[in-house]
Amino acid sequence: MKFKSHEEKQYIPRNKSRIMFLKFKKNKMAIIGLIIILILIFTGIFADFIAPHSYREQNLSLKNQSPSSDFLLGTDEFGRCIFSRIVYGARISLKVGILSTGISVLIGIIIGSMSAYYGGFLDQILVVLMDVMWAFPTILLSLLIVAIIGASLNSVIIAIALSYWVQYARLIRGQILSLKNELYIEVTRSLGANDSTILWKHLLPNAVIPVVVAATLGMGSAIVLEATLSFLGMGAQPPTPSWGSMLSNARTYLFLAPWLAIFPGIATIITVLGFNLLGDGLRDIMDIKMKE
């Protein structure tokens, strides 16, 4: 691209963020994804005010009631309000998605950046570790970790974090390998900057873009994995209103009371769809930024 003047050349970088914002604004699917996630966050934070009933209060005389004005989405096999349990389940999904993804991203960044920057024997050892971890099916590795430390919501968060860190480590390693020999890094090193300064202040800020996109998509995957583990009885324990455990309990009443499975399933699908749509939109924007 040729610039006609110095002023034009200086004008474009200052407006890059605005261009990215406009690009995101035009992506209707990404906007829909962001709205879904904001609604999920709002629901999780204000669950105590949104839920019309207690998520754990049982009334067997009201069990398996179909949706009505009193119970918007019906009741489950213990007479508990399904709508209230789904609302509180949003808080569980947010907690798992944010914490597990955050921990896995942190682990991946530390291991991947050290592997790429220092290279040599350390790189070989860490690459072998990543390859071994990558070879394990995610669900089996998560089940193994939960079986070792015990079934609970915190165990699920740890299991998901230890199962997903490899993809972030591989991403950050590839980015740093492509950046560490750039001229600006050589100049920084010649000016006396130490390895820590070069790695954390100069390389990582320029290498973290793909990780941000992958983490957004990874939150949806983490929520699905939590629902899967809870469905298998290895996740959140009763009476915690996990969407996965609600689906598991609904199997017995699938034909008698199908709403027990339909509404938690829809909540899970919409949530994962929101993260996927937002992740796709961010990927388009970040690709433009990287090219520039």
- pLDDT band at residue 77 using 50, 70 and 90 as cut-offs: confident
pTM of the model: 0.83
Average pLDDT over residues 23-42: 86
Alpha-carbon distance values, 259 to 61, 99, 224 (Å): 18, 30, 20
Summarize pLDDT for 234-251 with one digit per residue, the tens. 888 888 888 988 888 888
Alpha-carbon distance values, 87 to 49, 121, 202, 206 (Å): 10, 50, 42, 38
- pLDDT band at residue 20 using 50, 70 and 90 as cut-offs: low
- pLDDT band at residue 35 using 50, 70 and 90 as cut-offs: very high
Listed by start position, the domains of the chain span: 90-234+270-291
Contact by Cβ (8 Å): 230, 244 = yes
Closest of 74, 3, 5, 90 to residue 39, by C-alpha: 90
Sign of CA dihedral 51, 54, 58, 60: negative
**Helix ranges, the chain (H):** 6-14, 16-26, 28-45, 47-50, 82-118, 120-135, 138-149, 153-179, 183-190, 195-197, 204-207, 209-231, 243-250, 259-291
- pLDDT band at residue 135 using 50, 70 and 90 as cut-offs: confident
Query: Coil, helix or strand for 75?
Result: strand
pLDDT of residue 15: 57
Give the CATH H-level superfamily of domain 90-234+270-291: MetI-like (1.10.3720.10)
Contact by Cβ (8 Å): 151, 237 = yes
Give the pair of three-digit tokens for residue 15.
């407006």
One DSSP character per residue, 260-289 reads HHHHHHHHHHHHHHHHHHHHHHHHHHHHHH
Contact by Cβ (8 Å): 230, 159 = no
Counting Cα atoms < 13 Å in the Cβ hemisphere of 169 gives 24
Distance of CA 218 to the CA centre of its chain: 4
